[in-house]
Amino acid sequence: MAMKICRVNVEQQTSSCEDVPEPWVRLGGRGLIARILLDEVPPACEPLGPNNKLIFTPGLLVGHMLSSCDRLSIGGKSPLTGGVKESNAGGSTGMALALLGFHALIFEGWPTDSSWWVVVISQDGVRFDPAEDLIGLGVYASAARLIERYGEKVALSLIGPGGEMQLLAAGIQNLDKDRVPSRINARGGLGAVMGSKHIKAVVFDTAGTSKPPIADPAAFKAAQKTFTQALMAHPQTAAYRDYGTAGMARMCNSLGALPTRNFSSGQFESVETISGEHMREALQQRGGASETTHACMAGCTIRCSNVYADPQGKEIVSPLEYETIGLMGSNLGLTDLDDVARLNWQANDLGLDTIDLGAALGVAADAGVLAFGDAQRALELMDEIRAGTPLGRLLGGGAALTGKALGVRRVPVVKNQAISAYDPRAIKGTGVTYATTPQGADHTCGLTIRAKVDHTNPEGQAALSRTAQINMAGYDTLGACIFAGFGFAVVPETIPALINARYGWGVPPDFLQVLGRQTIELEKEFNRRAGFTPADDRLPEWMTQEPLTPTGAVFDVPAEDLDQVHNW
């Protein structure tokens, strides 16, 4: 069965499938999204208007339970940044797309009335089921009802009230392997795009499907084995298994890069109580639903995820990630991980990006809307979002909108998207990534924290970021998790080996970089046509002026360096 492009028109409620156009064949995930956007979406269109498209696509390696390589990319023109947008997630949806034979699934058109729909996709075709009973329901309750209705084996992509309200920080949630709906295509407001098309959920019923064909199964298996062994042997894999991403809290704090009280400091005096080490210990003591080692996708050998339970062993949220701890913990002056976990659950249930929401709350705290350290007030503000009050809509619109409306200068965004939990003044290579990636501030587009360099020295950071950006754009196109890179970096030859074995192609040894450069070039071209210029490839001015405690660093990578990052 050849992979197909499937289109679903929400205005006509029709669908159709077609062969993959030749220029789209050797792309998937992030790279394919950029290509489709350039080919089909007017770059200057309204992101929440009739001409935007919402694109689901698995990466090129998705479909065979390669460890950490079954990720789902969703994309479109971002209502948050106004530019190209791809956001990827783990969970089970990526695999379902591959099983259903979709090279890409493209939602098009605009609803003609106020009704909402569940789009049900199976081998039998596409069906629109009424979704009125789900409207206003949170992600968890909605997912439970959908699972009850469509069975335990379906994959789901759904939005919460945030997406329904077309809030600019709304994402799209997916089930993990345990049917918890918390694997979110978080960034850039794609949940609002889904909401603008009045799709509450997409149900993927894979009954009767089988894995995509492999051209050379023996070669594939051999490469898979080499890759998996390299991944398992990497020391970072073990660290992530023990502490999850939360292990980053101590590291970032020691570098003076942990966002604290709206990025006013890079160290948090209470870092220990929100650290991965503390979390592991607490969860081990609490037992019950607690899991310190949990996989979001079937087949993942890293298992960086967790289930966070309260002192009675009752699950609060799963997972609790470092980004959330940074943005909704230290950034809000919160010292108790239980509070952070509760905020995280609320954000998940609303279907919002915890990074942009956490950053928005930090900005709001600078404006006096809440006090730093006041978890109760922060939780009340989640209710404001749910109620759709003006303040709630602001917070759900992310840090840029909140800052603009409340008149705050210290707003940590690039291209209107929030900077994540690595202060770019203290980790300047990642600052270069934030500034220059076509995606808007996003550490997953090129994190440089593991490089053995002085992260506060501006020299050489652009080169560091360039390499990281190219590799990450490649991984995002393959459907590989950021952590799969630990393995691939050791055995890079397995990337072309896996691709050639699966597809029968003859891709070059540097295929990862070829994909990465191509993807970034496509994205930059879309942004250029949408009106972006080098003036958009900058960190906020205040970060170049306001020294960060305790390093005293400002962001001082020269503009000329930033402008050369993508000149390869």
Q: Determine which residue in the list 9, 13, 51, 564 makes contact with a copy of itself, applying CB under 8 A.
A: 51
Residues 40, 51: Cα–Cα separation, whole Å: 9
Q: Which residue number, 32 or 381, has a Cβ lying nearer to a copy of itself? A: 381
Q: Which residue number, 312 or 533, has a Cβ lying nearer to a copy of itself? A: 533
Q: Does 542 bind a copy of itself (CB under 8 A)?
A: yes
In what side-by-side order are the strands of the sheet with 315-317? 291-294, 305-309, 315-317
Neighbours of 32 (CB within 10 A): 29
Q: Which residue number, 355 or 435, has a Cβ lying nearer to a copy of itself? A: 435
Q: Percentages helix, strand, coil for the chain, rounded to the nearest 5?
A: 45, 15, 40
With a CB cutoff of 8 Å and minimum separation 6, the contacts of 22 are: none
Q: How many CA atoms lie within 13 A of 12 on its CB side?
A: 9
Phi, psi of 328 (to 5 degrees): -105, -5
Count residues near a copy of itself (CB under 8 A).
38
Q: Which residue number, 110 or 140, has a Cβ lying nearer to a copy of itself? A: 110
Q: Determine which residue in the list 48, 120, 155, 361 makes contact with a copy of itself, applying CB under 8 A.
A: 48
Neighbours of 382 (CB within 10 A): 22
Structure tokens at 83: 């530019």
Q: Does 554 bind a copy of itself (CB under 8 A)?
A: no
Kindly write out the interface string for residues 502-541 of this chain, putting x where it contacts a copy of itself by CB under 8 A and - elsewhere: ---------------------------xxxxxxxx-x-xx
Strand partners, 107: 8, 54
Q: Which residue number, 198 or 294, has a Cβ lying nearer to a copy of itself? A: 198
Q: Which residue number, 534 or 552, has a Cβ lying nearer to a copy of itself? A: 534
Phi, psi of 538 (to 5 degrees): -135, 150
Q: Determine which residue in the list 235, 390, 506, 508 makes contact with a copy of itself, applying CB under 8 A.
A: 390
Q: Does 135 bind a copy of itself (CB under 8 A)?
A: no
Q: Determine which residue in the list 409, 454, 457, 558 makes contact with a copy of itself, applying CB under 8 A.
A: 409
DSSP for residue 117: E
With a CB cutoff of 8 Å and minimum separation 6, the contacts of 316 are: 308, 309, 310, 338, 341, 342, 344, 345
Q: Which residue number, 124 or 541, has a Cβ lying nearer to a copy of itself? A: 541
Q: Which residue number, 103 or 410, has a Cβ lying nearer to a copy of itself? A: 410
Kindly write out the interface string for residues 363-382 of this chain, putting x where it contacts a copy of itself by CB under 8 A and - elsewhere: ------x-------------
Strand partners, 413: 418
Q: How far is the CB of 50 from a copy of itself (least distance, A)?
A: 7
Q: Does 174 bind a copy of itself (CB under 8 A)?
A: no
With a CB cutoff of 8 Å and minimum separation 6, the contacts of 215 are: 500, 501, 502, 503, 504
Q: Does 141 bind a copy of itself (CB under 8 A)?
A: no
Q: Determine which residue in the list 45, 65, 219, 232 makes contact with a copy of itself, applying CB under 8 A.
A: 45
| Binding stretches for a copy of itself (CB under 8 A) | 43-46, 48-51, 165-168, 369, 389-391, 393-394, 397, 401, 404-407, 409, 529-536, 538, 540-542, 545
